[in-house]
Amino acid sequence: MVELGMMLLSGVLLWEVARAYRRQRRAIGLGRAPRPPARYPSVTVVRPIKGLDTRIEDNLRAALDNDYPGPVETLFVFDDEREPALTAVRRVLAEARRGEQPVEARILFSGPPPARRTGKLNAMIAGLAEARGEIVAFVDSDVLQDRQALRVLVETLLERAEAGAAFAPVVATEPPATVGDAAYALMLNGLYEPAALATAAEQGGQLPFIMGEFMAFKREAIAAIGGLESAEGQLVDDMFLGQRLRQCGYRNVIAPHWVAIVQRGATLAEFLPVLIRWIVFSRSGLPARAFKLQHWRVGGAFWTGLLLALTAAFGGQLLAAALAASVPLAVVVMINDLHHRVGGAPLPLRYRWVAAALWLGAPLIYARTLTAREIAWRGRRYRLNRHARLQAGAADREPSARTMG
């Protein structure tokens, strides 16, 4: 009788995993292309840069090469003249200005962030103060956009009158060279983005927060929420800005166009702080019912199936153990498949186990985030309060200029 109960419970868990997989797989299509506006407004693209990203010069060249039909200016924002990527920006700008197409771009220095403000938010505020465009976009320095990305982003923003911000989903496209690369790609492509798209599909193409790697705002929406300064004190400023927009009656809409995040050569030791940071971000930036619940349910199925399998095997109930073991196996297969479907590079067989490792390590990682009072992020350390929000401003720089996440 006990064995039968275990088998029935395993069947329920398999159904839950299958339901989650179907829900996310259906959402990956991203929907139809937006309608072109009658007039394309001018756009300022603000790109905060801190540290050295993988293939930084490729990212910079792509930033200056787009088919947007209206005027575009690009602002590269640094803390100061000592930033290691500054030479690369100057080299790429000089190269672009020797070309046939005119390039409107400038370099700005924001200075170090004041207390209770992240470095990214400080650079965004500095860029907005200098922006001339009717629409203002913000793009992370590790984004490698294609020529259509900016146009589709603005079209998505303008298509709906109630939209205050639009953002593009991101995908890690580089073939993994290390375990850290594989873990990062699976976290982004197999867990985070499919869940976000599924949530948005159920809410008419919008989310109650913003995924801020590639985002654009209407100026009136920024003014309505009290400016970008309204996010001071927040560790996850882009998600908070999206929540503020929603509170003020605006919508955060997803553009039906992926952009690539470039990460390669990360060690496992470099990836683990990124995972911890993302979970900390989720504590203060993500609404639980709209997004995190689906991860909790899949994670619960993984661990319940694993514990059932071990219990059944220890009791000699091999059929029940085999059925229960198929539950965590199904979760691993789901994550690997979603990674492939969103556009991730093929995962070598030697890295297929990494999806299981993400869930096996999740309880310890999550416990660590509950006690974390300091987080390292792009060359800075931030002190946090018990709600995972900023307690003070940036402190010491990290010893390495290499960045991840």
- Residue 153: partners with Cβ closer than 8 Å, 6 or more residues away: 137, 166, 167, 168, 214, 215, 216, 255, 257
Angle, in degrees to the nearest 10, between helices 86-97 and 56-63: 40
User: Among all chains, which residue has been given the structure tokens 């498949």?
Assistant: 337
Beta bridge partners of 165: 217, 252
DSSP, collapsed to helix, strand or coil, labels residue 74 as: strand
Beta bridge partners of 77: 48, 108
Neighbours of 393 (CB within 10 A): 18
Query: What is the Cα–Cα distance from 241 to 224, expressed in whole angstroms?
Result: 11
- Residue 287: partners with Cβ closer than 8 Å, 6 or more residues away: 208, 209, 243
Neighbours of 30 (CB within 10 A): 18
Residue 6, CB-side half-sphere exposure with 13 Å CA sphere: 25
pLDDT tens digits along 204-214: 888 888 989 99
CA-based nearest residue to 213, from 176, 279, 178, 258: 258
Residue 372: predicted pLDDT: 67
Cα-based distances in Å from 145 to 119, 150, 194, 306: 22, 8, 20, 40
Name the burial class of residue 387, with classes exposed (0-12), middle (13-18) and buried (19+) by CB atoms within 10 angstroms of its CB. exposed
Distance from CA of residue 405 to its chain's centroid? 8
Residue 42, CB-side half-sphere exposure with 13 Å CA sphere: 9
Segments of the chain scoring below 70 in pLDDT: 30, 282-291, 372, 377, 387-388, 392-405
Residue 395: predicted pLDDT: 46
Between strands 170-172 and 259-261, the pairing is parallel
The three-point CA angle 67-73-78 to 5° equals 125
Residue 283: predicted pLDDT: 64
Residue 263: predicted pLDDT: 85
On whether the CB atoms of residues 68 and 39 are closer than 8 A, the answer is no
Residue 292: predicted pLDDT: 73
Residue 396: predicted pLDDT: 46
User: Among all chains, which residue has been given the structure tokens 């390292």?
Assistant: 376
Which domains occur in the chain, in start order?
A: 32-178+200-266 (3.90.550.10)
